[in-house]
Amino acid sequence: MKAVLEVRDLCRTYVVNKRQNHVLRNVSFTVNEGEMVAVMGPSGSGKSTLLYTVSGMDRMTSGKVDFCGRDISSLSEDELAELRLDDMGFIFQQMYMLKNLTVLDNIILPAVKSRRNKASRREKTERGRELMHKLGIADIADNDINEVSGGQLQRACICRSMMNRPKMLFADEPTGALNRTSSEEVMAELAKLNEEGTTIMLVTHDAKVAAKCTRVLFIVDGNIKGEFGIDRAEPLRDRERALNNWLMEMGW
């Protein structure tokens, strides 16, 4: 199986008041093509820092991160920005969108800004509408972002993340700001994208969310303490039970 993301001996240290804070300590793991990997752990364990560092949003202190054959530590800020725009997709807990644009215009913005995407504006708009139809929100294309629900807005963020056909999606607590119904709907869409071939890495504190993934990494104090494989052929309730039992063994 082809590796999309290879992380070796990754460290991230911040200096606060002249004291070193080792947020990530010699982290190593691989995400293969087609996987959906969840990162779990206690608050302050380094989950989000790990996501931001391996995706190039934050600079590593030491170690190596290889994304599709490119060592991201060797890239300039402009090269990193281009990599994130064209080859990565991002979904966050807070649904950042421009208030002066419609939902559709927000969705197609990454494609409009991309220098690699040579499609016409009409083709980009058509792709945006196709993604919205796929995720069941085609009827809100011309709405302002304050005229739609949180669940609809997060699905719009998923559409935006897919505009440039990224090699991998990174999601930081993508259901954290949603109610249970909207959370389940958003996770169903992410799982569907993964089953269609999109590689995903997400941070979550919710075992119900993680149980829809194919593998879970458990991080404590900046170290990965274990990983748990999930067979999505099993009933969801059984997956949740097995994952919760494992998390308790890990000290969750």
DSSP β-ladder status, 199-203 and 3-16:
unpaired
Query: Mean pLDDT of all residues in the chain?
Result: 94
Measure the CA–CA gap between 194 and 33, rounded to whole angstroms.
10
Instruction: Give the predicted TM-score (pTM) of the model.
Output: 0.94
Question: Where do runs of H (alpha helix) occur along the chain?
Answer: 47-54, 77-87, 103-113, 121-134, 150-161, 180-195, 207-210, 236-249
List the structure tokens of 172.
């930081």
Q: Is the pLDDT of residue 17 over 90?
A: no
Can you say how many angstroms the Cα of residue 25 is from the centroid of all Cα atoms in its chain?
A: 21
Average pLDDT over residues 222-227: 96
Q: Which two tokens stand for residue 220?
A: 């404590």
| SS3 state at 146 | helix
Helix (H, G, I), strand (E, B) or coil at 74: helix
- Which amino acid does the sequence have at 161? S
What pLDDT shows up at residue 20? 81
Q: Note the pLDDT of residue 22.
A: 87
Rounded distance between C-alpha atoms, residue 208 and residue 58, angstroms: 28
Q: How many domains does the chain have?
A: 1
C-alpha 66/C-alpha 68 separation (Å) is 6
**Token digits for 233?**
């052929």
**Does pLDDT of 50 surpass 80?**
yes
Mean pLDDT computed over 48-53: 96
What's the pLDDT score for residue 203? 97
Residues of the chain above pLDDT 90, percent = 89
CA distances from residue 165 to 111, 159, 161, 223 in whole angstroms, order as listed: 10, 10, 8, 31
Model confidence at 229, pLDDT cuts 50, 70, 90, reads very high
- pLDDT interval class at 15 (50, 70, 90): confident
Query: pLDDT tens digits for 156-201?
Result: 999 999 999 999 999 999 998 888 899 999 999 999 999 999 999 9
Q: Is 109 helix (H, G, I), strand (E, B) or coil?
A: helix
CB-side neighbour CA atoms (13 Å) of 139: 4
CATH number at residue 164: 3.40.50.300
Give the domain extent around 95.
3-249
Own/partner long-range contacts of 75-79 (Cβ < 8 Å, ≥24 apart): none
